[in-house]
């Protein structure tokens, strides 16, 4: 049972949410922990025990670290051990995933990164060590976030588990958010994936300039809708349970600058990298050059978040260069540039970046870039490209409009003045999305 499946929508979610609401407030964290374990077990029975062992090891490390009798060096050893254990998990399973060698535990990346952050926070005494094992299990293995985030921190998640109190309006708005995420994947991401696949095979057989541009744009949109869909589902479920978790995407297509793009795209991951890598390396404290190197390290890690592949690393470097330009070279000139131009330039830079991201190898990406900029002698367009694009143009337009957050703006507009109309429209919109998503799923 995947998150985007009929079984989850029709069986797991209603049963779990129903039981959760019926459960007394103090018992809800135990029910949530059981649901997390059950979900993980049915996803990957063979990886269940190793993952549980890893979580329990983190719990033990945190427990020992918070013991008062422990000296500084012992605490230092424990935190280093925990961090290296999690980095080793990321490296081993990341490499295994890249080489398609063996089974990779579901959600190992989000789990490991979350654990590293929490271990460091407890070590630095920025966050109290969680004593309750059920709460710790919920925090480490909260099932909706394991697929793609958001990466949550202990101080924002754990205090809410003491006695979560879901409300009716919160649950309804959480469910709407969940449906929105579900629809992003079932409708938009699926359609964009099939368009992207058609463009990829077109590029392999008879490339043309417009196909290369469309390929890069579609890959970016597909990735955005897939990841933000999963994160919306995670946030929506949490809201139904009376728990708040941060959003992971703030309409990155509206970014005015690459730095701004990074503050809207995969936000909690970039927040984690900023806090635990950039600042840990000293930020800009050791001068501009050191700061620039640190920015580049963070940008590279942002790329590697998507997998251990050279293309993702270069994607991060490419965008990192623009961040450095914005911060250090063009810092004074950029405020004078009209916002529209900034938007357009950002879209251009980001779309080009997804040509790098799309390739399986660097040479394939170089091939895409050469075609995009007319350096390969490929024609501007041809019949087959027009055919597949005409069939997908509407869905592409819907995706572009959805990525701009116009619906959210309309919602804000109605919020103050037309409360009833907003509630009615919101309900109808959710029902429509639900119906379409279910239809697409069985299609």
Partner 1 sequence: MKKISSFLLLLFLLAIVPAVVMLEVLFHDGLPEAQGQQAASQLEQSIRDHLPFQQQLRQMVTEVRYRLGMREQSSVFISENSLVENVSGPYGDFVRQNTQAILDFTERYGVSTYVALIPNSCVIRQDEIPPLATVYNQKSLFDYVYDRLAGSAICIDTYTSLYANNDKYLYYRTKELPTSLGGFYIYTAVGGKLGVAPREIEQFAIRPVLYDYYGELYEQFPYDRVQADILSVYELESFHREYQVTHYDGEEETPRVYYTLYPLYCLKEGQDATDLYLGGLSPRIDIRSTAPFEKRLLVFGDETMKSYLPFLTIHYDLITFVDLNTISDRQLEELDVYEYDQVLFAYSAESFMHTDIPSGIDRKQKESETEGEWSP
Name the residue nearer to partner 1 (CB basis): 11 or 400.
Answer: 11
Considering the rule CB under 8 A, would residue 414 count as an interface residue with partner 1?
no
Considering the rule CB under 8 A, would residue 19 count as an interface residue with partner 1?
no
Judged by CB under 8 A, the chain residues 174 through 203 that form the site for partner 1 are 175-176, 179
Cβ of residue 18: shortest distance to partner 1, in angstroms?
7
List b or e across 354-381, with b for residues whose CB sees 16 or more CB atoms inside 10 angstroms: bbbbbbeeeebbbbbbbbbeeebebeee
Q: Residue 177 in contact with residue 169, Cβ under 8 Å?
A: no
Considering the rule CB under 8 A, would residue 173 count as an interface residue with partner 1?
yes
Residue from 395, 399, 402, 403 touching partner 1 (CB under 8 A): that is 395
Residue with token string 């998990």: 89
The residue range among 4-12, 226-234, 248-256, 284-292 that interacts with partner 1, by the rule CB under 8 A, is: 4-12
Considering the rule CB under 8 A, would residue 406 count as an interface residue with partner 1?
no
Q: What are phi and psi of 206, to 5 degrees?
A: -145, 85
Q: Residue 337 in contact with residue 379, Cβ under 8 Å?
A: no
Among candidate residues 180, 255, 103, 70, the one with its CA nearest the CA of residue 411:
180
List b or e across 126-165, with b for residues whose CB sees 16 or more CB atoms inside 10 angstroms: ebebbebebbbbbbbbbbbbbbbbbbbbbeebbebbeebe
Considering the rule CB under 8 A, would residue 18 count as an interface residue with partner 1?
yes
Rounded to an integer, what distance in angstroms lies between the CA atom of residue 127 and that of residue 135? 14
Residue from 14, 27, 50, 282 touching partner 1 (CB under 8 A): that is 14
The residue range among 58-66, 166-174, 226-234, 317-325 that interacts with partner 1, by the rule CB under 8 A, is: 166-174
Name the residue nearer to partner 1 (CB basis): 311 or 430.
Answer: 430
Considering the rule CB under 8 A, would residue 168 count as an interface residue with partner 1?
yes
Among candidate residues 82, 63, 149, 117, the one with its CA nearest the CA of residue 280:
117
Name the residue nearer to partner 1 (CB basis): 1 or 60.
Answer: 1
Name the residue nearer to partner 1 (CB basis): 21 or 77.
Answer: 21
Give how many residues touch partner 1 by CB under 8 A: 48
Considering the rule CB under 8 A, would residue 390 count as an interface residue with partner 1?
yes
Considering the rule CB under 8 A, would residue 383 count as an interface residue with partner 1?
yes
The residue range among 7-15, 129-137, 273-281, 336-344 that interacts with partner 1, by the rule CB under 8 A, is: 7-15
Rounded to an integer, what distance in angstroms lies between the CA atom of residue 289 and that of residue 284? 8
**What is the H or E stretch that residue 36 is in?**
helix 28-43
Q: What count of Cα atoms within 13 Å lies in the side-chain half-sphere of residue 250?
A: 12
> What are the structure tokens assigned to 258, written together?
């690459």
Among candidate residues 225, 220, 252, 204, the one with its CA nearest the CA of residue 354:
220
Considering the rule CB under 8 A, would residue 443 count as an interface residue with partner 1?
yes
Considering the rule CB under 8 A, would residue 426 count as an interface residue with partner 1?
yes
List contacts with partner 1 (CB under 8 A).
1, 5-7, 9-11, 13-14, 17-18, 42, 45, 168-169, 171-173, 175-176, 179, 383-384, 386-387, 390-395, 419-420, 423-424, 426-427, 430-431, 434-436, 438-443
């Amino acid at each position: 049972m995947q998150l985007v499946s009929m079984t989850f929508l029709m069986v797991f979610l209603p049963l779990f949410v129903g039981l959760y609401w019926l459960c007394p407030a103090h018992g809800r964290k135990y029910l949530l922990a059981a649901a997390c374990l059950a979900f993980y077990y049915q996803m990957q029975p063979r990886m269940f025990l190793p993952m549980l062992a890893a979580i329990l090891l983190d719990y033990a490390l945190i427990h020992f670290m918070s013991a008062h009798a422990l000296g500084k060096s012992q605490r230092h050893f424990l935190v280093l051990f925990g961090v290296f254990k999690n980095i080793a998990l990321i490296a081993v399973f990341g490499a295994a995933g890249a080489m398609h060698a063996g089974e990779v535990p579901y959600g190992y990346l989000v789990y490991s990164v979350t654990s590293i952050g929490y271990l460091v926070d407890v070590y630095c005494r920025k966050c109290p060590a969680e004593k309750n094992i059920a709460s710790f299990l919920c925090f480490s293995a909260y099932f909706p976030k394991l697929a793609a985030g958001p990466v949550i921190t202990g101080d924002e998640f754990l205090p809410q588990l003491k006695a979560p109190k879901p409300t009716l309006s919160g649950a309804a708005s959480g469910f709407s958010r969940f449906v929105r995420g579900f629809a992003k994947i079932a409708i938009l991401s699926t359609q964009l994936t099939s368009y992207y696949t058609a463009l990829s095979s077109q590029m392999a057989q008879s490339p043309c300039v417009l196909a290369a541009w469309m390929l890069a744009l579609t890959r970016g949109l597909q990735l955005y809708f897939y990841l933000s869909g999963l994160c919306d589902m995670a946030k929506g479920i949490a809201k139904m349970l009376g728990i708040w978790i941060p959003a992971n995407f703030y309409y990155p297509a509206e970014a005015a600058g690459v730095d701004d793009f990074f503050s809207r795209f995969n936000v909690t991951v970039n927040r984690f990298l900023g806090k635990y890598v950039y600042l840990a390396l000293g930020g800009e404290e050791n001068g501009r050059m050191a700061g620039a190197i640190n920015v580049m390290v963070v940008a590279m890690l942002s790329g590697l978040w998507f997998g251990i592949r050279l293309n993702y690393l270069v994607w991060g470097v490419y965008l990192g260069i623009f961040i450095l330009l914005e911060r250090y070279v063009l810092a004074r000139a950029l405020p004078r540039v009209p916002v529209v131009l900034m938007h357009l330039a950002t879209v251009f830079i980001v779309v080009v970046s997804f040509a790098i991201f799309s390739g399986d190898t660097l040479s394939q990406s170089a091939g895409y870039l050469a075609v995009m900029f007319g350096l390969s002698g490929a024609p501007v367009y041809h019949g087959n490209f027009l055919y597949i694009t005409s069939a997908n143009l509407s869905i592409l337009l819907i995706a572009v409009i959805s990525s701009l957050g116009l619906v959210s703006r309309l919602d804000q507009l109605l919020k103050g003045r037309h409360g009833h109309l907003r509630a009615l429209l919101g309900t109808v919109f959710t029902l429509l999305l639900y119906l379409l998503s279910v239809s697409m799923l069985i299609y």
